[in-house]
């Protein structure tokens, strides 16, 4: 097991390296850096001061040196300065990361809370009206793009019914640490988390349903029944336990999904997280922030898939490939 994890981690290193080179090359290829924008808005800044500024920021060094500096900074947790905000990128991201993690965790928990019971019901009572309803629900959520669903939810529950706040992550008046503060945070979280969760239930439900239907026909279940084990015990002890385990392995892939989804969710609900930061940074050509965010997402995706593989191999020893 340890050997498998180690191998998997060693395998990650070249991937990370290529990823970092790719991202660095992209950042360098961006047309006009943040300073060009400043030049236009500030007529006092002439070409000479610009050159000086560029030199000071190390923007005119050869590319490999810049890359080396960037990687060195990466290892020290130094992601450079945001040229627009004039604060270190680490600080900028740290301020937003909390919100995104909160939203992501809420989406994941909600999605499992919805998906597991539905999957179990439709797997156990196949071909009943409940199962048909759930399969229908699955078709719809699978086909619905996240941004459309989120927009419709926002329109209906936020604007038409007015039940929930429509933008932001917290009331401005709320005092930090009070009960009202947390309630306001939760209140702002409901719509984005709910719309993210509903759309991401499909895979879990589908998988659970198929798994239960498959397991139902296995010999050990027949044996249990033949021995006179009660029906509820057959399901709870024998079938669900076997079918639920692989679901745990999806956790890592779900992290990947949540990262991608956060860009849409945060931009629609005006939720100040890293997805929104990414969009505004790319529009303002704040490339140190953009590269840092893409790098962090790539890292999170890697860790997510690694996590999935480890859980999967722990749950199912057959997958441990030598």
Partner 1 sequence: MKVEIINPKQQKQKKEKKHGVFSILWREIVKDKLALASLMLLGLILIIVYGTSLLLNQDKIVKVDLLSIYSPPSAEHWLGTDYGGRDILGQLIIGARNSFTIGLCITLLTGCIGLCVGLCAGYFGGKVDNTIMRVIDFFLILPMLMLIIVFVSILPKYNVFSFILIMSAFLWTGKARLIRSKTLAERELDYVSASKTLGTPDWKIIFREVLPNLSSIIIVNLTLNLAGNIGIESGLTYLGFGLPESTPSLGTLVSYATNPDILQNKWWVWLPASLLILVMMLCINYIGNAFKRAADARQRLG
> Where in 19-48 is the site for partner 1 (CB under 8 A)?
19, 26, 29-31
- What is the C-alpha to C-alpha distance for residues 154 and 278, in angstroms, rounded to an integer? 22
- What is the C-alpha to C-alpha distance for residues 36 and 24, in angstroms, rounded to an integer? 19
The tokens for 113 are 């809370």
151 contacts partner 1 (rule: CB under 8 A): yes
143 contacts partner 1 (rule: CB under 8 A): yes
- What is the C-alpha to C-alpha distance for residues 113 and 298, in angstroms, rounded to an integer? 27
The tokens for 252 are 């890592």
Name which of 44 and 143 has its Cβ closer to partner 1: 143
**Residue selected from 53, 170, 279, 307 as contacting partner 1 according to rule CB under 8 A:** 279
- What is the C-alpha to C-alpha distance for residues 258 and 263, in angstroms, rounded to an integer? 9
The full length of the chain comes to 322
- What is the C-alpha to C-alpha distance for residues 113 and 194, in angstroms, rounded to an integer? 11
282 contacts partner 1 (rule: CB under 8 A): yes
Number of Cβ within 10 Å of residue 73's Cβ equals 16
**Residue selected from 140, 180, 186, 319 as contacting partner 1 according to rule CB under 8 A:** 140
Scanning 46-54, 154-162, 244-252, 314-322 for contacts with partner 1 by CB under 8 A, the matching segment is 154-162
- What is the C-alpha to C-alpha distance for residues 231 and 229, in angstroms, rounded to an integer? 6
Scanning 84-92, 183-191, 231-239, 289-297 for contacts with partner 1 by CB under 8 A, the matching segment is 289-297
Scanning 12-20, 52-60, 64-72, 99-107 for contacts with partner 1 by CB under 8 A, the matching segment is 12-20
307 contacts partner 1 (rule: CB under 8 A): no
5 contacts partner 1 (rule: CB under 8 A): no
Cβ burial 275-286 (10 Å sphere, 16+ → b, else e)? bbbbbebeebbb
The least CB distance from residue 202 to partner 1, in Å, is 11
**What Rg, from alpha-carbon coordinates, does the chain have?**
25
**Residue selected from 68, 98, 117, 145 as contacting partner 1 according to rule CB under 8 A:** 145
Alpha carbon 197 to chain centroid, angstroms: 12
147 contacts partner 1 (rule: CB under 8 A): yes
Binding site for partner 1 (CB under 8 A): 15, 18-19, 26, 29-31, 139-140, 142-148, 151-152, 154-155, 159, 166-167, 259-260, 263-264, 267-268, 278-279, 282-283, 290, 293-294, 297-298, 301-302, 305
């Amino acid at each position: 097991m340890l050997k498998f994890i180690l191998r998997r981690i060693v395998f990650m290193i070249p991937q990370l390296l290529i990823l970092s080179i790719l991202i660095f090359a992209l950042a360098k290829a961006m047309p006009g850096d943040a300073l060009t924008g400043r030049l236009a808005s500030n007529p006092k800044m002439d070409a000479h001061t610009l050159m000086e500024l560029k030199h000071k920021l190390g923007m005119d060094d050869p590319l490999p040196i810049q890359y080396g500096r960037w990687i060195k900074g990466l290892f020290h947790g130094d992601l450079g300065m945001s040229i627009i905000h004039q604060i270190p990128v680490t600080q900028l991201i740290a301020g937003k990361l909390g919100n995104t993690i909160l939203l992501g965790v809420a989406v994941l928990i909600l999605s499992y809370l919805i998906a597991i019971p539905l999957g179990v019901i439709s797997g156990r009572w196949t071909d009943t009206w409940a199962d048909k309803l759930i399969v229908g629900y699955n078709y719809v959520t699978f086909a619905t793009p996240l941004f459309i669903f989120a927009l419709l939810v926002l329109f209906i529950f936020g604007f038409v019914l007015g039940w929930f706040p429509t933008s932001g992550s917290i009331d401005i008046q709320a005092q930090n640490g009070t009960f009202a503060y947390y309630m306001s945070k939760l209140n702002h979280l409901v719509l984005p988390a709910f719309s993210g969760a509903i759309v991401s239930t499909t895979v879990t439900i589908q998988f659970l349903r198929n798994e239960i239907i498959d397991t139902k026909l296995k010999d050990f279940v027949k044996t249990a029944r033949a021995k006179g084990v009660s029906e509820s015990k057959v399901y709870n002890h024998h079938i669900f336990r076997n079918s639920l385990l692989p679901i745990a392995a999806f956790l890592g892939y779900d992290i990947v999904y949540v990262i991608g989804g956060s860009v849409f969710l945060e931009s629609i609900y005006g939720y100040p997280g890293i997805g929104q930061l990414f969009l505004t940074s790319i529009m303002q050509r704040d490339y140190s922030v953009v590269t840092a965010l893409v790098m962090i997402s790539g890292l999170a995706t890697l860790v997510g898939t690694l996590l999935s593989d480890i859980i999967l191999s722990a749950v199912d020893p057959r997958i441990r490939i030598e």
